[in-house]
Structure 1
Amino acid sequence: MMEEDDDVTQGVLLRCLSLYSRGGGCKVGATTSDEFGEIVGKSYKPVCGAQDTSVDCFSYGVEKFRKKNNKKKNFQLQEPNHNNNEMHVFLPDDILEMCLMRLPLTSLMNSRLVCKKWRSLTTTTRFMQMRRDGYYPSPWLFLFGTVKDGFCSRDIHAFDVSFNKWHKIEAEVLKGRFSFSVTSVHDNIYLVGGCSILGKMDRNSSKTHRGVLVFSPMTKSWHKVASMKHARSKPVLGVYKVNSNHLTIKSQHNNFFRTRQRIGGVSDVYEDPHRLSVRRVSRTSFEDQKSKQSKVNKSVKDCRRFLIIAAGGFGSWDEPLDSCEIYDSSSNKWTEIQQLPVDFGVVCSAVVCNGIFYVYSESNKLAAYDIGLGYWARVQTTPPPPQVHEYTPRLVSCDDRQLFMVSVSWCEGDGEIGRRNKAVRKLWELDFEYLTWNEVCVHPDAPMDWNSVFVADKNLIFGVEMFKIFGQVLEFLTMCDVSDPKMNWVHVSKNQVAREMDVSSCVMKSMAVVHL
Structure 2
Amino acid sequence: MELGDAYGDLGVGMTRKRKRDDGGNLLSNFSLDDLNQDILERVLSRLPTSAFFRLSSVCKRWKSVAASSSFKYACSDVSARDPWFFMVDPHLDRSIVFDSTEKSWKKLNYPHVLQSRHHNLMPVAASGGLICFRNSSGNFIVSNPLTGSCSELPPVELDQKNQYLHAIVMSSDRDGCKGSYKLILVHGQLPKLRFKVYHSTTGCWDDNVTLSRKVDDSIEFNFNDDTVVYFLSRTGNVVSTNMQRSPSKQYSSVIVNKNGEDLIYFISSSGTIMACNLNKRCFVEYPRLLPVFSEYSIDVVECQGEMLVVMLSEFLETASLRVWRYDEDARTWHQIAALPPAMSHEWYGKKIDINCVGAGDQILICMNSNELYTYLLCDLVKNQWTELPKCNMNGEAVEFMSAFSFEPRIEACV
- TM-score in terms of structure 1 length: 0.58
Cα 1:436/1:114, change in 2 over 3 Å = same
Cα 1:240/1:100, change in 2 over 3 Å = closer
Q: Which of 203, 210, 231 is equivalent to 1:338?
A: 210
Distance 1:312 1:501 in 2: 37
Residue 405 of structure 2 aligns with an amino acid whose one-letter code is: A
1:185 corresponding residue in structure 2: 127
Q: Is the 8 A contact 2:295 2:314 kept in 1?
A: no
Shift of 1:236: 2.9
1:41 corresponding residue in structure 2: none
Q: What CA deviation, in whole Å up to 9, does each residue of 1:199-231 have, x standing for no partner?
A: xxxxxxxxxx23222221342332323332249
Shift of 1:422: 2.7
Q: What CA deviation, in whole Å up to 9, does each residue of 1:456-511 have, x standing for no partner?
A: 11111112223443xxxx64221122223xx23222333546995798x64xx443
Q: What is the 5 A alignment of 1:52-131?
A: 53-56=8-11, 59=14, 64-65=16-17, 92-114=36-58, 118-131=62-75
Q: What is the 5 A alignment of 1:32-431?
A: 35-38=1-4, 46-48=5-7, 53-56=8-11, 59=14, 64-65=16-17, 92-114=36-58, 118-135=62-79, 137-144=81-88, 146-147=89-90, 152-171=91-110, 172=112, 173-174=114-115, 177-178=119-120, 180-191=122-133, 193-195=134-136, 209-230=137-158, 236-244=167-175, 303-312=178-187, 324-335=195-206, 336-338=208-210, 343-344=224-225, 349-353=252-256, 354=258, 355-373=262-280, 375-381=281-287, 384-386=289-291, 391-400=296-305, 402-412=306-316, 421-431=317-327
Distance 1:211 1:124 in 2: 33
- 1:514 aligned to 2:407? yes
Q: What CA deviation, in whole Å up to 9, does each residue of 1:57-107 have, x standing for no partner?
A: 764xxx6359xxxxxxxxxxxxxxxxxxxxxx8752113213321222222
Distance 1:95 1:311 in 2: 45
Distance 1:55 1:313 in 2: 53
Distance 2:352 2:188 in 1: 18
Cα 1:462/1:497, change in 2 over 3 Å = farther
Distance 1:349 1:327 in 2: 19
Distance 1:228 1:453 in 2: 27
- 1:480 aligned to 2:387? no
Q: Which of 454, 458, 466 is equivalent to 2:360?
A: 458
Q: Which moved more, 1:425-434 or 1:90-99?
A: 90-99
Cα 1:118/1:452, change in 2 over 3 Å = same
1:438 corresponding residue in structure 2: 334
Instruction: Tell me which protein shows more strand as a share of its residues.
Output: 2
Distance 1:500 1:388 in 2: 40
Q: What CA deviation, in whole Å up to 9, does each residue of 1:98-124 have, x standing for no partner?
A: 332122222210112346653443244
Distance 2:115 2:173 in 1: 30
Q: Is the 8 A contact 2:362 2:379 kept in 1?
A: yes
Cα 1:303/1:348, change in 2 over 3 Å = closer
Cα 1:311/1:456, change in 2 over 3 Å = same
Residue segments in structure 2 that go unaligned for 5+ positions in a row? 19-32, 214-222, 227-242, 244-249, 410-414
Aligned length: 346
- TM-score in terms of structure 2 length: 0.70
Cα 1:194/1:424, change in 2 over 3 Å = farther
Cα 1:338/1:125, change in 2 over 3 Å = farther
Residue 95 of structure 2 aligns with an amino acid whose one-letter code is: I
2:22 corresponding residue in structure 1: none
Distance 2:296 2:284 in 1: 22
Distance 2:73 2:392 in 1: 33
Cα 1:495/1:218, change in 2 over 3 Å = closer
Shift of 1:365: 2.8
* Aligned-CA RMSD value: 3.7
Q: Give SS of 1:98's match.
A: helix
Q: Is the 8 A contact 1:159 1:165 kept in 2?
A: yes
Q: Is the 8 A contact 2:132 2:142 kept in 1?
A: yes
Q: What CA deviation, in whole Å up to 9, does each residue of 1:226-251 have, x standing for no partner?
A: 33224989863223434345xxxxxx
Distance 1:407 1:387 in 2: 14
Q: Is the 8 A contact 2:392 2:398 kept in 1?
A: no
Residue 269 of structure 2 aligns with an amino acid whose one-letter code is: E
Q: Give SS of 1:434's match.
A: coil
Q: What CA deviation, in whole Å up to 9, does each residue of 1:277-312 have, x standing for no partner?
A: xxxxxxxxxxxxxxxxxxxxxxxxx74443222234
Distance 2:164 2:10 in 1: 42
- What percentage of residue pairs aligned between the two structures are identical? 18
Residue segments in structure 1 that go unaligned for 5+ positions in a row? 1-34, 39-45, 67-88, 196-208, 246-301, 315-320, 413-420
Q: Give SS of 2:388's match.
A: strand
Q: Give SS of 1:338's match.
A: strand
Cα 1:498/1:423, change in 2 over 3 Å = farther
Shift of 1:442: 2.3
Q: Is the 8 A contact 1:481 1:488 kept in 2?
A: yes
Relative contact order higher in (CA < 8 Å, ≥ 6 apart)? 2
Q: What CA deviation, in whole Å up to 9, does each residue of 1:329-349 have, x standing for no partner?
A: 221222333269653467753
Distance 2:278 2:48 in 1: 36
Shift of 1:396: 1.0
